[in-house]
Amino acid sequence: MTLRQQISVQWESKAAKWYATIDIANAFFSIPLAAECRSQFAFTWRGVQYTWNRLPQGWKHSPTICHGLIQIALEQGEAPEHLQYIDDIIVWGNTAEEVFEKGNKIIQILLKAGFAIRRSKVNGPAQEIQFLGVKWQDGCCQIPMDVINEIAAMSPPTSKKEAQAFLGIVGFWRMHIPNCNLKECDIYSYGVQKDTDFLQSLGTNIQLLGNSTPNVQQAEEMEHDSIAGECKATYTRPLG
């Protein structure tokens, strides 16, 4: 299950009313590298050799290490219920006061662990908030309107490559699109004009579903579709 799906499942069961988000400032650079490891990060610039003494951005293992250290700090500090993705954290509750207290406790734990928190990186308490690019309200996730407007403003594709690029953009919102797997398969079988018709229809679906909530706990279902003599099926089951 993806992180977004985990968030959706957990929040829909809680039907939270208030939220707050915390984004740790310069999280990677808050983590010192052990002296014996610094030689692994040496580099030369204008004939002079340097090395990192903090966890560098761009190294493939940096996000995992950063996430793990922040998670350990929060666990050791007995942080209240929250969700964390690397340096992004969200808390929720039934009242603004409850959420404020949870957020403040997490901030104090992070400061004690050596991480920096900027006031501009803290949002809420609010009844509607964005976390990891997703709009959350009343325990449900929705597509932000700026995303819907961006997709709706895109020109119809004129080639297979452009059509595939379009699918890459809308793919993140697949949970909001009924039978998305079946619809995506069509692009590899149909001509460009058919693809254009499909993508225009898909864009309309996204507009209509912008304020909807994906049903991540739907009952098991088997859907069939027959196209050009082929039998296609999409099997869905409850997440978890």
pLDDT at residue 183 in the model: 54
Same domain membership, residue 127 and residue 153: no
Same domain membership, residue 92 and residue 158: no
Average pLDDT on 192-198 reads 50
pLDDT at residue 73 in the model: 95
pLDDT at residue 200 in the model: 55
Task: Give the predicted TM-score (pTM) of the model.
Answer: 0.67
Same domain membership, residue 167 and residue 98: no
Same domain membership, residue 163 and residue 195: yes
User: Which has more pLDDT, 92 or 155?
Assistant: 92
Average pLDDT of the chain? 75
pLDDT at residue 240 in the model: 44
Same domain membership, residue 115 and residue 77: yes
Same domain membership, residue 100 and residue 123: yes
Average pLDDT on 92-101 reads 93
DSSP string, the chain: --HHHHHHHHHHHHT--EEEEEE-BTTGGGSBPPGGGGGGGEEEETTEEEE-SBPPTT-TTHHHHHHHHHHHHHHHTTPPS-EEETTEEEEEESSHHHHHHHHHHHHHHHHHTT-B--GGGEEEEESEEEETTEEEETTEEE--HHHHHHHHTSPPPSSHHHHHHHHHHHGGGGGGSTTHHHHHHHTTTS-HHHHHHHHHHHHHHHHHTTT----TTPPPEEEEEEETTEEEEEEE----
pLDDT in tens, 114-156: 999 988 889 989 998 888 888 887 777 777 888 777 777 777 7
Choosing from 119, 141, 163, the residue where a domain stops is: 141
Same domain membership, residue 22 and residue 98: yes
Q: What is the share, in percent, of the chain residues with pLDDT greater than 90?
A: 40
Q: pLDDT category, 234, cuts 50, 70, 90?
A: very low
Same domain membership, residue 195 and residue 173: yes
Same domain membership, residue 26 and residue 71: yes
Q: Does the structure show a pLDDT above 80 at 12?
A: no
Same domain membership, residue 134 and residue 42: yes
Same domain membership, residue 15 and residue 83: yes
pLDDT in tens, 63-90: 999 999 999 999 999 999 998 999 999 9
Domain holding 231, by residue range, is 144-236
Choosing from 82, 113, 141, the residue where a domain stops is: 141
Q: What CATH number is associated with residue 36?
A: 3.30.70.270
Choosing from 104, 120, 141, the residue where a domain stops is: 141
Same domain membership, residue 163 and residue 96: no
